[in-house]
Structure 1
Amino acid sequence: MLASQRKQIILELLAREKQVLSSELSQKFAISEDSIRRDLRELAAEGLLQRVHGGALPVSAAIAPIETRKNVQNRSKQNVAAKAAKLIQPAQVVMIDGGTTAHELVMRLPKDMAFTVVTHSPGIAVSLVDHPLVEVIVIGGRLFKHSVVTVGSAMIDAISHINADLFFMGVTGIHASAGFTTGDYEEACVKRALSQRAAETVVMASDEKMNAASAFAIGPLSLASTLVVDSEPDMALRAAFAEQQIEIL
């Protein structure tokens, strides 16, 4: 079998099973694990999968630049944001992540409700200027231009003084074994730190992020208390969330 044929079968298996293991692929194709690892390296270099220890996972489509992401799964993001906005109650302190789904959330926030928003996204902060009853706290730091959010030690130190009711967290991948992931190491650290400062973390995920993974782990699925999605997760992912007692909206 040609290497190109083998790679195509690997991608088909990955799409169907949501995970492939090097040892199992080695047995299936009757070749060494070194050869399989080379296949996986080459497929990863083409952006077709995400390598992990022992195998590979589907790669997330949500790691493109923000201008590109604005045009990905727009209807799904809008549906997710509409559901998420209903979780906010008067007088709460709410942390809102950056990202395109978060921007959809802000567009659906009620203008007649008084509550506080804490954000490290300049774009989110500016979008709340015309909400007269919303107090906005902007967390500064180094601007990570890919996602247009602040990161760094100054940002982490600032949020250590905040106790929020909710954190609306954006991710680029959700997978039963890989947990919540994103495409940048420092951004993963920031998301993890924000989650630790909130009583509840709400993960908002449009369809392209389900059963996918990126290079950097934010944390396990247990990091979230609620998952807001547009369509029903598959059985394996539902079981993983049920095991952690995470509500799916």
Structure 2
Amino acid sequence: MLTSQRKNLILDMLRREGQVVAKRAAGEFSLSEDTIRRDLREMAAEGLLRRVHGGAMPVTPDLPDFTARQAISSDVKRKLGAAAAAMVKPGQMIFLDGGTSTAEIARALPRDFAFTVATHSPTIAAELEHHPTAEVILIGGRLYKHSMVATGAAAMSQIANMRPDIFFLGVTAAHPVRGLSTGDFEEAAIKRHISACSAETITLLTVDKLDAVSPHVIMPVSALSGIIMQSGADEARLAPYRAAGLDVMEV
């Protein structure tokens, strides 16, 4: 079997199962463990996976700070934000997570009917300062500066009394087996809490967030109502999300 074929099989296993156990992969592919371990080392050097004892895990995305992420906001995120904003209906309450993609939602929100925006992000609230029809509710608490969102017991208590129609969730990674994840324990907890209080949860994804895993799990992908996805992703990578019953909108 060619090296490229072996590596493709390893990547397929990683996407399908969320991990590669070298011993199991060797048995499944009828190869030696030494061969699999050598391939895993090479693939880790190429940035295709992350080596762990006994095998490999999906890559963990870098976590640039909020200011750095603002600087790389792109046309892709503007398209994602516009598609999300178009889902909002008159009289609804939506909850906007922190982040650069959700900032694009705030900028694209309709201006010809009234609705309510709740957020635990002061930067998102500031985006809506001059919006003519949006009522804005800002949740307070301990500020997690990396993402510029409020976390902790005070924020959780305020959110518990809300029932948003749609929560637009921000994540750093999405994997069909390992779920939706982010880089901070407290941030993951509050995202999970907002979703539990909301009628629907929608996440916006760029291609680089697919098949990746960050340290702290928010919830399984099956807990989502839908995904607004950057166009151009291989259909094989999207198939597990569709199989989970999710509406995947490509823009």
TM-score range with shorter-chain normalisation? 0.7 to 0.9
Matched residue type, 2:100: T
Q: Does 1:242 align with 2:245?
A: no
Q: Where do residues 129-144 of structure 1 align in structure 2 (5 Å cutoff)?
A: 129-144=129-144
Cα pair distance change 1:53/1:183, threshold 3 Å: farther
Q: Where do residues 1-249 of structure 1 align in structure 2 (5 Å cutoff)?
A: 13-14=10-11, 18=15, 20-22=19-21, 23-24=23-24, 28=31, 30-31=33-34, 49-50=49-50, 55-61=55-61, 63-72=63-72, 74-249=74-249
The whole-number CA distance in structure 2 between the counterparts of 1:21 and 1:68 is 33
Matched residue type, 2:203: V
Cα root mean square deviation, aligned: 3.2
- How many aligned positions are there? 237
Cα pair distance change 1:61/1:220, threshold 3 Å: same
Contact 1:15 1:58 survives alignment (8 Å):
no
Matched residue type, 1:137: I
Contact 1:63 1:182 survives alignment (8 Å):
no
- The structural deviation recorded for 1:63 is 2.0
- The structural deviation recorded for 1:29 is 5.3
The whole-number CA distance in structure 2 between the counterparts of 1:51 and 1:183 is 19
Contact 1:60 1:214 survives alignment (8 Å):
yes
- The structural deviation recorded for 1:95 is 0.3
Deviates most, 125-134 or 67-76: 67-76
The whole-number CA distance in structure 1 between the counterparts of 2:41 and 2:26 is 11
Identity value in percent: 37
- The structural deviation recorded for 1:30 is 3.1
Contact 1:50 1:215 survives alignment (8 Å):
no
Cα pair distance change 1:216/1:188, threshold 3 Å: same
Cα pair distance change 1:179/1:164, threshold 3 Å: same
Cα pair distance change 1:89/1:55, threshold 3 Å: farther
Matched residue type, 1:129: E
Contact 1:73 1:208 survives alignment (8 Å):
no
Contact 2:91 2:114 survives alignment (8 Å):
yes
SS at match of 1:164: coil
Matched residue type, 1:210: L
Cα pair distance change 1:145/1:12, threshold 3 Å: farther
Deviations 1:62-100 (A, max 9, x none): 522122223446122111111111100110000000011
Contact 2:10 2:20 survives alignment (8 Å):
no
The whole-number CA distance in structure 2 between the counterparts of 1:58 and 1:72 is 24
SS at match of 2:165: strand
- The structural deviation recorded for 1:129 is 0.8
Unaligned runs of 5+ in 2: 1-5
Q: TM-score, normalised by structure 2?
A: 0.81
SS at match of 2:87: coil
The whole-number CA distance in structure 2 between the counterparts of 1:39 and 1:169 is 34
Unaligned runs of 5+ in 1: 1-8
The whole-number CA distance in structure 2 between the counterparts of 1:49 and 1:184 is 21
SS at match of 1:186: helix
Deviations 1:94-123 (A, max 9, x none): 000001101111111122221000000000
- The structural deviation recorded for 1:13 is 5.0
- The structural deviation recorded for 1:194 is 0.5
SS at match of 2:245: coil
Matched residue type, 1:30: E
